[in-house]
Amino acid sequence: MSAMTTWKSIADLIGESGDVAILGAPMDAGSVTPGRCDLAPETVRKALKRFSTYDLETGREIATAIVDRGDAAVKGLMPADGFDAIRDAVTAATKDHALTLLIGGNNAVTRPGAHGLGVPLDKVGLITLDAHFDLRETDQGPRNGNPVRCLLEDGLPGANICQIGLAPFANTGKMHRDALAAGIGVFTITDCKVRGIRAVLDEAIERLEHCEALMVDFDIDVIDRGQLPGAPGARPGGMSADMFFAAVRHLASEPRVRVADLTEFDPSLDVSDTTALTAGRWVCEMLAGFERRRAAGLSH
């Protein structure tokens, strides 16, 4: 038997039923920096064919079955107009699957994703891995630069939010003050590098112990721009890809994480598929973390 016939890819795990759902949200309108984040869901799906199911770190085959629920009908829509479609698609997915991977699109998909958890906002916890606070003003409506402020205005308590990987010279003083005043847990990229990402994540998870269900927003621009050309908001000095992957696996092992999104990947800016493969690896690490919780008997 040839090596090619024995190769099984992550894409081969996609079928008619499964514990994990993939849901695309190709929203790009309303972005601070215009681009083609709407191309990301299909690009990530294609990238999954390039990853094997064998996890060398654990010596185990990833075996979690995945259901691809297609894309929410939001292409070309502004965030306010696409809110219901994403929220309803996420709600339907969380009813059928233990974990939903929401692939944006821009960061505006995070707000309807959190509402789609199907529990009251005061019981929802949000963890963001992002270079930015996403606390721009909402006077012009929802945008990709203000999902966290939108959620605060919707009624999500600041004490239910932790933001990790925040970058210097990428935010404003008012955003920082507003985050602290709201009770948001603020963790800079230097905190992650000095303390270690595991310590930061464990503190964030502990801070959100009172929350019933968690959503994690993985804004891919948290990664250092030198390792991630396909994210318009990425900055030099950001999180290493290794640290990002470790964070993904650890957070996916937390049983209260029901929805995780990947946002701000613009395939039109990518070089040598670097960002596409990073996004594909995100799916792999989410599955590895999910299997860790399932092996411990912690999966909801």
Domain 3-295 is classified in which CATH homologous superfamily? Answer: Ureohydrolase domain (3.40.800.10)
Closest CA to 97 of 250, 260, 270, 269: 260
Radius of gyration of the chain (CA): 18
Is residue 264 scored above 80 in pLDDT?
yes
Task: Specify the 3-state DSSP secondary structure of 203.
Answer: helix
Averaged pLDDT for residues 268-280: 97
Say what the pTM is.
Answer: 0.96
Averaged pLDDT for residues 168-189: 98
Lowest-confidence pick of 32-41, 162-171, 263-272? 32-41
Q: Whole-angstrom Cα distance, residue 41 to residue 185?
A: 30
pLDDT at position 1: 43
Burial 125-164 (b: 16+ CB within 10 A, else e): bbbbbbbbbbbbeeeeebbbbbbbbbbbeeebbbbbbbbb
pLDDT at position 30: 79
Is residue 78 scored above 70 in pLDDT?
yes
Is residue 254 scored above 60 in pLDDT?
yes
pLDDT at position 233: 93
pLDDT at position 286: 98
- pLDDT, tens digit, 9 for 90 and up, residues 113-138: 999 999 999 999 999 999 999 999 99
Is residue 261 scored above 60 in pLDDT?
yes
Angle at 72 between CA 67 and CA 77, to 5 degrees: 160
pLDDT at position 5: 61
- pLDDT, tens digit, 9 for 90 and up, residues 193-205: 999 999 999 999 9
Q: Report the 10 Å Cβ neighbour count for 170.
A: 18
- 299 confidence band (pLDDT: 50, 70, 90): low
Q: Which residues contact 221 (CB under 8 A, 6 or more apart)?
A: 130, 131, 132, 228, 231, 232, 233, 234, 235, 238, 264
- 249 confidence band (pLDDT: 50, 70, 90): very high
Is residue 300 scored above 80 in pLDDT?
no
Is residue 8 scored above 90 in pLDDT?
yes
Q: Report the 10 Å Cβ neighbour count for 95.
A: 9
Measured CA to CA in angstroms, residue 98 lies from 15, 34, 115, 205, 214 at distances of 16, 34, 16, 19, 12
Percentage with pLDDT > 70 across the chain = 97
| Cβ proximity of 79 and 143 under 8 Å | yes
pLDDT at position 298: 58
